[in-house]
Amino acid sequence: MISVSNLTMRYGAKILFEDVSTTFTPGRRYGLTGPNGAGKSTFMKVLTGELEPQKGTVVRPRKLGVLRQDQFAFDAYRVIDTVIMGNKPLWSALEERDRIYEKPEMTDEDGMRLGELEGIIGDEDGYTAESDAAVLLDGLDIREDLHQRKMGELQGGQKVRVLLAQALFGKPEALLLDEPTNYLDLDSIHWLQDFLLNYDGTLIAISHDRHFLNSVTTHTADIDYQTIITYTGGYDEMVMAKTQIRSRLESENAQREKKIAQLNEFIARFAAGTRSSQVTSRRKEVERLQTNELARSNIQRPYIRLDQNRPSGKHVLEFKHLTKFYGELEVIEGFTANVMRGEKICLIGRNGAGKTTLLKCLLANYPGLGDKDFTLDSGSVFWGHEAQVGYFPQDVGSTIEHGLTVTEWLHRWNPAAHVEDIRGILGQMLFSGEEGAKPTRALSGGEQARLAFCKLILTKPNLLIFDEPTNHLDLESINALNIALQRYEGTVLLVTHDHDLIDEVATRLWVFGEDTIEDFQGPYEEWKGKHN
């Protein structure tokens, strides 16, 4: 069990939460939700002990599994050892045992201490630790040949999965996971969901993956209105309950204010007359009915509307026998396909399977979007009549030039646009008036992503190519993107691991396997039904 009492955290004048008391119960799985900047990661760090609360107390169990965000902290350690470090008592005992064995001569005290350490190692399942750690790594698609490598040799996405295995290792009484699905492919996300559904401790997870939250969580702890309110159910159930409660409070306030206005009118008319006793009683009634000022929500919802300047031709894109090698490794092998106007194609598969590489192959000869360091080994790409591409790469920050303000950068993409139009688009994506003057160099990852969407809204291409666009978006922005893509009348190529986006947007799939790419002409549910 984890509990907090009278917890307060604020930064300057900004209150994140104040005098919060809540309990997280074993056997329940909590989603920790709230908009960017609401204080989710701060609250998580208070629960783990990384941050001391400014006021209040935290009670936590002895064994706590925590997903750590520092990818470089374990670079000098073997992958398998990094996982075992998730069980602190076991790792401490193993290290001390090794130090004793390294001594040239052991004392009687050393011998007695070794006996104690072997007892701890046995109690903590230390004799099966490496095989237990290997099972977790295999489930998260970290191949066996990587288990003995140093963490520093792994790619960023692989490191995140090892750190997730570290958090899950050692049967912790509580699991605290901050964005556990980041950098995971769909297969790994499904494996993690199954693992967590069978976990019987206390789970608290921050995630911007709506499907993950709805699939895994039994309760939702929502940070808003400067407090934390726990709702029963997943994310969608929380949104519905929260909306209903807020509507009821606002309605009750409106009714009270109407009644107060009627009473004040009576008081004003008869205050100087002979009905003083009635005036006095009504004044008391006004004091009793005085409305409470409702705290403002932190949630801000962007409005994404994706239009086309003009439609493309019926045949948008055709490519034949695309092949790409990295050294001796063949990543794309002779892939051929036609893309028709209005199709929405999701590229799915394991990380490293070649999804981003395929997009780069397609864009290699497109003016202004090809990577100058990337060459297509063989094959041909033909763009259809009037095809106008809007591209959202994984590293979206690299496409935003420094030395400009937000408004100046956006205006460059359509110099004929009125300043009011530019401001309106920025406002749709939650850039307030003064934020238009913010230097592009100072933008956060989330702000860079929202500015890239502003460009797509302004330029109105008829073919959108997205490479993991949800990486820096909060739940409200991802939901807005989902709706916008469903309504968009142009053509879409989308790389994503977001289950709901794939399920609700895709009309066709390119599924990347170990050696082949399957071109499936239908939605995700049909593909799943065929492969289950």
User: Residues of 15-42 as b/e, b for ≥16 C-beta within 10 angstroms?
Assistant: ebbbebebebeeebbbbbbbbbebbbbb
Closest C-alpha among 252, 318, 218, 304 to residue 486: 304
pLDDT reading at 292 higher than 80: no
Q: In angstroms, rounded to a whole number, what is the distance separating the alpha carbons of residues 250 and 417?
A: 40
Which pair of structure tokens corresponds to residue 373?
């360091």
272's CB contacts (< 8 A; 6+ apart) are none
Q: In angstroms, rounded to a whole number, what is the distance separating the alpha carbons of residues 484 and 505?
A: 10
CB 199 within 8 A of CB 63: no
pLDDT band at 454 (very low <50, low <70, confident <90, very high): very high
Q: In angstroms, rounded to a whole number, what is the distance separating the alpha carbons of residues 288 and 281?
A: 11
| Mean pLDDT score, 477-500 | 95
Q: In angstroms, rounded to a whole number, what is the distance separating the alpha carbons of residues 377 and 332?
A: 10
Domains 2-235 and 315-531 share a fold: yes
Give the per-residue pLDDT at 434: 87
pLDDT reading at 532 higher than 90: no
Q: Which residue has the tokens 């509307």?
A: 305
Superfamily assignment of 315-531 in CATH? P-loop containing nucleotide triphosphate hydrolases (3.40.50.300)
Give tens-digit pLDDT for 322-333: 999 998 888 999
Closest C-alpha among 149, 130, 94, 75 to residue 102: 94
pTM for the full predicted model: 0.79
pLDDT band at 530 (very low <50, low <70, confident <90, very high): confident
Give the per-residue pLDDT at 246: 66
CATH number of 2-235: 3.40.50.300
pLDDT band at 294 (very low <50, low <70, confident <90, very high): low
Give the per-residue pLDDT at 422: 94
Q: At what angle do helices 445-459 and 419-428 cross, to 10 degrees?
A: 130
Question: Got the DSSP string for 161-220?
Answer: HHHHHHHHTT--SEEEEESTTTT--HHHHHHHHHHHHT--SEEEEE-S-HHHHHHH-SEE
Give tens-digit pLDDT for 338-392: 999 999 999 999 888 899 999 999 999 898 888 888 889 999 999 999 999 999 9
pLDDT reading at 235 higher than 60: yes
Q: pLDDT above 90 covers what percent of the chain?
A: 58
CB 312 within 8 A of CB 379: no
Give tens-digit pLDDT for 83-124: 999 998 899 999 999 999 999 888 989 889 999 999 999 999
Average pLDDT over the chain reads: 89
Q: Tell me the CA end-to-end span of the chain in Å, nearest whole number.
A: 37
CB 202 within 8 A of CB 171: no
Q: pLDDT above 70 covers what percent of the chain?
A: 96
pLDDT reading at 516 higher than 80: yes
Give tens-digit pLDDT for 67-83: 876 778 899 999 999 99
| Mean pLDDT score, 227-248 | 84
CA distances from 399 to 197, 203, 449 (A): 40, 38, 10
Give the per-residue pLDDT at 63: 85
Q: In angstroms, rounded to a whole number, what is the distance separating the alpha carbons of residues 45 and 54?
A: 13
Q: Return the domain boundaries, the chain.
A: 2-235, 239-289, 315-531
Q: In angstroms, rounded to a whole number, what is the distance separating the alpha carbons of residues 523 and 506?
A: 6
Which pair of structure tokens corresponds to residue 190?
């499904």
Identity of the highest mean pLDDT range in 152-156, 258-262, 266-270: 152-156
Q: In angstroms, rounded to a whole number, what is the distance separating the alpha carbons of residues 432 and 17?
A: 24
Question: Got the DSSP string for 77-93?
Answer: SBHHHHHHTTSHHHHHH
